[in-house]
C-alpha cells in the first residue's frame, strides 16, 4: 500500500509512540490527523507539521467519528494507528490487607485499554471501508493497534492491564478475518519497554533498570523504532492478522 497521498489517523498521536508515528507517516507523504486529548502537544504538532489536530476521546463514538471524518476529508483514508493510553489500575489480586483488587479500577483499565481500542477499530474499519480499493491486491487500508508484551507475561500487579492488552492481541486475527472481504488489514504491535518523553527524568532510572535486562540491544526501545515498524506494516500488503513483538527479545519476569 502506498503511503504517499493517503490520509492517516493516529489516535494518541501526541504521545511518545504516537508522535513518532505521526512524524514518520507525514515524512512518507501521508496527510495525518493527530487524534488525542493532549491539546498543547497536539496543536504544536499541527503548527510544526501542518497535520490536523482533533481533540479525541478513544472511548467516545462521537469523538472518534469526528476525527475520522476529518481524516477522510483530507484524502483517501487508508491508515489508522491506535497508540492511545491513559491511567491503568494495578495491584495484587489479593492485597496484603486481605482485600481483593478494586473492581472499579479494573473496569476503568479495560474501558481505556480494550474497549477504547475496539471502539477505534470498529469505527476506523467502517470509515476505511468507504475508501476505493487500490493496487494489485485491491487493498483499502490497514489498521494498526498497540498491545504490550504484558499480554503474554503480565507481571505481578498488572492483572487489569495484562487482561486489556491480552484482549487487543486476541482481537487481531478475528478482526483481520472479518475485514478481509473489504480489503482491510489488521496488525497489532506488542511493544516491550519503550522510553518515551512521558517518563521525564524518571526515564533515566527506568533505562538503568530495564536496559541490562534486555538481551539485545541492552536498552529500552525508542519511539522511532515503533514508528518504523508501523511504516513497514503499511507498505507490506502481506502482513495481516499478526501480532508483532517489538521488545529486543525481552520476556517480563514475574516482577
Q: For 8-17, what is the mean pLDDT?
A: 97
- Catalytic annotation, residues: 161
Cα separation of 26 and 208, whole Å? 33
Nearest C-alpha neighbor of 180 from the set 188, 192, 172 = 172
CA distances from 114 to 43, 85, 107, 157, 181 (A): 27, 10, 10, 18, 24
Nearest C-alpha neighbor of 182 from the set 232, 130, 231, 123 = 130
Matching residue, cell 536496559: 211
For the chain, what are the domain ranges?
Answer: 7-195+202-246
The tens digit of pLDDT for each residue in 132-178 reads 999 888 899 999 999 999 999 999 999 999 999 999 999 999 999 99
Span of 46-60, 97-111, 200-214 with lowest mean pLDDT: 200-214
Give the CATH fold of the 7-195+202-246 domain. Rossmann fold (3.40.50)
The tens digit of pLDDT for each residue in 113-129 reads 999 999 999 999 999 99
Q: For 28-46, what is the mean pLDDT?
A: 97
Amino acid at each position: 500500500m502506498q503511503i504517499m497521498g493517503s490520509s492517516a489517523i493516529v489516535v494518541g498521536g501526541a504521545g511518545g509512540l504516537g508522535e513518532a508515528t505521526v512524524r514518520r507517516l507525514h515524512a512518507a507523504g501521508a496527510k495525518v490527523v493527530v487524534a488525542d486529548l493532549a491539546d498543547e502537544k497536539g496543536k504544536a504538532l499541527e503548527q510544526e507539521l501542518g497535520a490536523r489536530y482533533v481533540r479525541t476521546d478513544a472511548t467516545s463514538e462521537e469523538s472518534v467519528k469526528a476525527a475520522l471524518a476529518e481524516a477522510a476529508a483530507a484524502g483517501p483514508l487508508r491508515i489508522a494507528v491506535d497508540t492511545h493510553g491513559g491511567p491503568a489500575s494495578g495491584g495484587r489480586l489479593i492485597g496484603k490487607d486481605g482485600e481483593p483488587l478494586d473492581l472499579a479500577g479494573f473496569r476503568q483499565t479495560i474501558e481505556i485499554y480494550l474497549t477504547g481500542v475496539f471502539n477505534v477499530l470498529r469505527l476506523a474499519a467502517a470509515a476505511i471501508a468507504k475508501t476505493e480499493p487500490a493496487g494489485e491486491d485491491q487493498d483499502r487500508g490497514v489498521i494498526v493497534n498497540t498491545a504490550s508484551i504484558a499480554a503474554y507475561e503480565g507481571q505481578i500487579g498488572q492483572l487489569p492491564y495484562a487482561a486489556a492488552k491480552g484482549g487487543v492481541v486476541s482481537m487481531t486475527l478475528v478482526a483481520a478475518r472479518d475485514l478481509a472481504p473489504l480489503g482491510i488489514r489488521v496488525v497489532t504491535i506488542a511493544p516491550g519497554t519503550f522510553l518515551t518523553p512521558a517518563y521525564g527524568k524518571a526515564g533515566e532510572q527506568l533505562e538503568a533498570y530495564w536496559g541490562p535486562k534486555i538481551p539485545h540491544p541492552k536498552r529500552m526501545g525508542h519511539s522511532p523504532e515503533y514508528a518504523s515498524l508501523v511504516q513497514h506494516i503499511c507498505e507490506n500488503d502481506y502482513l495481516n492478522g499478526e501480532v508483532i513483538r517489538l521488545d529486543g527479545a525481552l520476556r517480563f519476569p514475574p516482577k
